[in-house]
Structure 1
Amino acid sequence: MSAADVVIAPVSGKSDFNAFIDLSYRLNRDDPHWVPPLRAEVVELLTPGKNPFHEHAKVQLFLARRSGKVVGRISAHYDELALTQPVEQGMGPGTGNWGMFEAEDEGVAHALIARAEEWLREQGMTRILAPISLSIWEEPGLLVHGHDHSPMVMMGHNLPQYEGWIESAGYQVAKRLLTYDVMVQDGFPPLINRIVALGEKNASIKVRPVDKKQMQRETAIILDILNNAWSKNWGFVPFTETEKVYGAKKLAPMIIEGANMIAEIDGEPVAFMLSLPDVNAKLKTMGGKLFPFNWAKLLWWLRNPQSEGFRVPLMGVVTKLQNSRMASQLAFMMIEYIRRYAVANHGVKRAEVGWVLEDNQGMVAIADAIGSKMNREYRIYSKAL
């Protein structure tokens, strides 16, 4: 359908805000692999004062209506921290974003994208990277491969037709983000076991589980390593101190001590690996609502989650060790220790690693070495304004 009869307007007031959130539940309800996010989490994501992203970003939400009916949505935004990053790393001056994208048809999609572009031009932006919802650390990219199975925790899922609609609006692929699926129940290849055994003989190496009783300290250690380890990566935007505190609070309920590791060399933290139970498998039955009873079910499940799948969303090794044998050895040790624990204590059979930048040769090599296979591809698109 054409965009001529579509009216795009900024979100204004509580009714519009609720309509913005509710639309995704309507448009995706017939997709058997879509996992309804907790509505309270979406509200928090989009609300200044609750999500510290808004402390260094400007966000405008838009709704599309046709004959008074809500038929699409989009967020247009830019991150002031991203604007300070080197251009060669993807972000940089003049880079704006849009995300939270949903549309009933191609005409609606093009009208929404055009309005987001107009707003970003008004803010002085000269190029777009999208979709990013809202931060690069949350749900970046459009799913283009892997629609035939549900995403794991903290990964997005969208209608397959969005790919063609976005590309027909003049967008080019800027970067591919990949996830890898690996069966873990029976262990890794012998080479990995030998590398782990050699590391265990090195007295300077200590790989330890996180201490949930010191979660604030542990999160600070992990995010400090992350800010260092990812500082040269494409798309990198550093965490602020406020975001570190916020991250600790958000991650704490899902952190299982034996499934999350920090590696030290001579007492200095130099690497970490996070692994989370696939809470999406539980959320899928909840329809996005915690109340009246789902909150108790979720909290009970998180006390000792039994899940066939775990996801490794983040890992990092400090820059001074990257591209060294030590870096890969620490990675394999953390992976193996997490595997042993998760299989023995939580019934895990498979793990998902990612997202991984398509040109991150080190991580792609690790994924290959443990026998994983690429199972999902997300794309971040670019366009000059």
Structure 2
Amino acid sequence: MGIEIRKVSTKGERKRFIRFAWTIYRNDPELDRYWVPPVVSDYMKTLDTDHYPLYEHADLAMFTAWKDGRMAGTIAAVQNRRHNEVHDDKVGFWGFFECVNDQEVADALFDAAASWLRERGLDTMRGPVSPSMNDQCGMLVRGYDSPPVFLMLYNPPYYNTLATNYGHATGQELLAWYIDQDRIDIERLRRIAGFVQKREGLSIRTIRMKEFDREVAIIRDIYNRAWEKNWGFVPMTDREFSYLATSMKAIAKEHFIYFVEDSEGRPIGFSLTLPDMNVALKHVNGNPFTPWGLFRLWWYGRNISAYRTITMGVLPEYRNKGIDSMLNAHIADYGGRYGLYSSEMSWVLKSNQAMSKLAKVIGGIPYKEYVIYEKPI
């Protein structure tokens, strides 16, 4: 029998689209050892074009591949009009790619995404981006021997072969840096941070959770201005940022979200570090909100001691002054005193030498690598 491509239309089909991943990972003990099932309800919201804020300026299509009467793969295609406006290009995106180890099935999925993107006047496909650069992106190419941290992806090694055989080339390489608390020279970091703070007349504080909305607005402003020139970056709308912040509020820890302020109390930089909830999510099979799921989430999440630094931002006029060292010193200092044994700094563009240098200074090891592929269509 040939390969049939079906477009996802209904809520039930969307859920089946998400659940297909279990077919890939649960049937392979080595993959299942490290894979963390996605939270189905979260993915349902992310793929809901009526409610997820991204789709106020983007369009989404989801496809499933069927072979011999069985679902064999999934892919989503995204036209992000805001991205095209910001970068003045005709790039479209693909993501949520899951596939059996069959090149014909993979080709059919990529063809479906490419055709949909071409119909909208786009000339390049880029991915995996699921569904935007502000969400989950990158295909793992190195570091399969440990689980992904919160909001990072995991995939079988053969996915890269399927992509490159189709004609995808490397667009960007991303690194995840592993920070072992025992490797950090905390005294050196304190000295550097203290010197920078005194020289620049700065202060540092934690987030004020009672003023959460106001603090989120500050982070949004710094984030959009600090990342403006980064590859692939698209400023988040107020609604996108508010949605993301609200979804993370329940797990945010006050002493891992820092603001740096100038001598007049004006915020000029921030860092966002979150607990590695994958430690607990690994055990709830994608459904943490059932009674049993909630218990297991609580049980395995009681003593999470691994964290992920998701992002830092410093206003352009304050770059290259060592402010990131202040932020890292406070994260490491607090973590060392209160049970943090490791963290991951991710993701970082491999070409970003400044961030790589910073990661090395605090004892970081680049232990995972991801690729975002590109192909003319």
Q: Shorter-chain-normalised TM-score: which range? A: over 0.9
Alignment check: 8 A CA contact 1:219 1:247 kept? no
Output the CA distance in 2 between the equivalents of 1:28 and 1:359. Answer: 31
Q: 1:270 to 1:96 in 2, by over 3 A?
A: same
Shift of 1:339: 1.6
Q: Does residue 116 of structure 1 match 2:113?
A: yes
What amino acid maps onto 2:329 in structure 1? E
Provide the residue aligned with 1:13 in structure 2: 10
Alignment check: 8 A CA contact 1:143 1:160 kept? yes
Alignment check: 8 A CA contact 1:228 1:319 kept? yes
What amino acid maps onto 2:287 in structure 1? K
The equivalences for 1:342-381 within 5 A come to 342-345=335-338, 347-381=339-373
Provide the residue aligned with 1:234 in structure 2: 231
Provide the residue aligned with 2:81 in structure 1: 80
What amino acid maps onto 1:212 in structure 2? M
Output the CA distance in 1 between the equivalents of 2:50 and 2:210. Answer: 27
The equivalences for 1:142-291 within 5 A come to 142-185=139-182, 187-188=184-185, 190-202=187-199, 204-266=201-263, 267-290=265-288, 291=290
Shift of 1:350: 1.0
Output the CA distance in 1 between the equivalents of 2:72 and 2:183. Answer: 47
Q: Does residue 99 of structure 1 match 2:92?
A: no
Alignment check: 8 A CA contact 2:228 2:235 kept? yes
Output the CA distance in 1 between the equivalents of 2:300 and 2:142. Answer: 30
Which one is further off, 286-295 or 155-164?
286-295
Alignment check: 8 A CA contact 1:176 1:377 kept? yes
Output the CA distance in 2 between the equivalents of 1:206 and 1:14. Answer: 49
Shift of 1:238: 0.6
Output the CA distance in 2 between the equivalents of 1:342 and 1:21. Answer: 35
Alignment check: 8 A CA contact 2:77 2:117 kept? yes
What amino acid maps onto 1:98 in structure 2? W
SS of the residue 1:233 aligns to: coil
Q: 1:208 to 1:189 in 2, by over 3 A?
A: closer
Out of 127, 138, 141, which is 1:141 matched to?
Answer: 138
Provide Cα deviations, 1:130-182, integer angstroms capped at 9, x if missing partner: 11110101111111011110010010111110001100101110100101001
Provide the residue aligned with 2:331 in structure 1: 338
TM-score normalised by the chain length of structure 1? 0.92
Unpaired runs of 5+ in structure 1?
Answer: 87-91
Shift of 1:18: 2.0
Alignment check: 8 A CA contact 1:271 1:315 kept? yes
Alignment check: 8 A CA contact 1:306 1:348 kept? no
Provide Cα deviations, 1:8-34, integer angstroms capped at 9, x if missing partner: 111122332222011012211232110
Alignment check: 8 A CA contact 2:186 2:332 kept? no
Output the CA distance in 1 between the equivalents of 2:300 and 2:245. Answer: 20
SS of the residue 2:287 aligns to: coil
Shift of 1:215: 1.3
Provide the residue aligned with 2:53 in structure 1: 52
Shift of 1:188: 2.2
Shift of 1:300: 7.6
Output the CA distance in 1 between the equivalents of 2:65 and 2:250. Answer: 36
TM-score normalised by the chain length of structure 2? 0.94
Shift of 1:125: 0.5
Output the CA distance in 1 between the equivalents of 2:337 and 2:233. Answer: 35
Alignment check: 8 A CA contact 2:276 2:306 kept? yes
Output the CA distance in 2 between the equivalents of 1:278 and 1:116. Answer: 32
Alignment check: 8 A CA contact 1:45 1:51 kept? yes
Shift of 1:214: 1.2
Shift of 1:46: 0.5
Shift of 1:197: 2.3
- Aligned-CA RMSD value: 1.7
SS of the residue 1:168 aligns to: helix
Output the CA distance in 2 between the equivalents of 1:380 and 1:43. Answer: 24
Shift of 1:51: 1.6
Alignment check: 8 A CA contact 1:19 1:70 kept? no
Output the CA distance in 2 between the equivalents of 1:334 and 1:80. Answer: 34
Provide Cα deviations, 1:107-148, integer angstroms capped at 9, x if missing partner: 211110011101111111111111111010111111101111
What amino acid maps onto 1:74 in structure 2? I
SS of the residue 1:155 aligns to: coil
Which one is further off, 107-116 or 178-187?
178-187
Shift of 1:202: 4.8
Output the CA distance in 1 between the equivalents of 2:183 and 2:173. Answer: 30
Provide Cα deviations, 1:261-305, integer angstroms capped at 9, x if missing partner: 011112111111111111001000111112123235536876xx5
SS of the residue 1:99 aligns to: strand
